[in-house]
Amino acid sequence: MSRRALTLLVSGFLVLALGIGGALVDVPYVVLSPGPTENTLGQIDKQPVIKITGRETYPTSGSLRLVTVAYQGGPTSQIDLLTALRGWIDPTVAVVPQETIFAPDRSQKEVEEENTVEMTNSQDDATAAALNELKIPYRTVISVVSVAKDKPAAGKIEKGDEITSVDGKPVTKTEEVGEAVRARRAGEEVTFGITRGDEDLKITVPTVAADGEPVVGVSMRATYKFPFEVDINVGEVGGPSAGLMFSLGIVDKLTEGPMTGGKQIAGTGTIKPDGTVGPIGGIPQKLVGARDAGATIFLTPAGNCAEALKAVPDGLRLVKAETLNSARLAIEALVSGKGKVPSCSG
């Protein structure tokens, strides 16, 4: 056998060995890639993404697409070395250490469950933001999420109760309840105004010390009582980053005339009830996913603009979105051709 043939044979053997080894060796990384997009004005499995009942709605056109990031890997399904290498080569995906997505003290199931809760909360906040934008009143209530079995509230306050007052003072924020309880000394009593079903109650609970502060053992969150029903269907999508697009979709359905003018618009960003848009992760992958879905305009949280400018694909225009109102006005300016459209580049 010639030296050339022997060299090729050995090289081929080494490549084969490395390939087999790479396919067998798991590595603690996660591959992030462009995920599916959904038009908030459209349907999923023949059901509207946004369904509004009890209020007049209007026809829409074009698209207001939410974007997602798909991932491979995790504590219970680690990727192999070859998958990681392919990801490092592909400019449309990112390979990140596993702990950046899944904290060492949390399981993959816990992270996925948290994403589901965040999506539910995001939908409620998006509805609240849309109604605030349209000056439609609604009520905010404080709902009991859980009651610690070993704390004084157990057996007195129940999951699902609405806290309306503390020591006779009306409350509308969870922070107000917490501050009122912490203002007591451990062992002192606190009287809660509670709505349970159709019944209004006064329930007195003693406080106990926990981590140096008085507590009663109740976990709460703010929930909303809207004047009509808004149902959002996004399948298995999780996390809070679709908030802005949900809000815009709701606003579009509740106002006369198609907001988009038929344009293909995508975007991302968390939303607060006051309309503030927050930054999100995975912006490079979301930009690619948006462009692949046919979008030509991308609503970008101000906090993601610098990163987005480095990764924007050809044919996609970045529009800076700081609030729901500014995003709405930007779309109106794009459709009409009049007015300033805020840009990530200045």
Cα dihedral 203, 206, 210, 213 sign: positive
Residue with tokens 């930009």: 287
Instruction: State yes or no: is 165 an active-site residue.
Output: no
Tokens of 324: 């729901």
Tokens of 240: 């809070």
Q: Are strands 189-196 and 162-166 parallel, antiparallel or unpaired?
A: antiparallel
Distance, in Å, from the CA atom of 265 to the CA atom of 263, rounded to the nearest integer, reads 6
Q: Which of 156, 253, 286, 320 is catalytic?
A: 286
Q: How far, in whole angstroms, is CA 88 from its chain's centroid?
A: 27
Distance, in Å, from the CA atom of 220 to the CA atom of 119, rounded to the nearest integer, reads 17
Nearest to 49 by CA among 299, 325, 247: 247
Identify the three-state secondary structure at position 19.
helix
Instruction: State yes or no: is 143 an active-site residue.
Output: no
Q: Residue 217 carries which DSSP code? A: -
Q: Which of 33, 122, 241, 247 is catalytic?
A: 241
Residues with a catalytic annotation lie at 241, 286
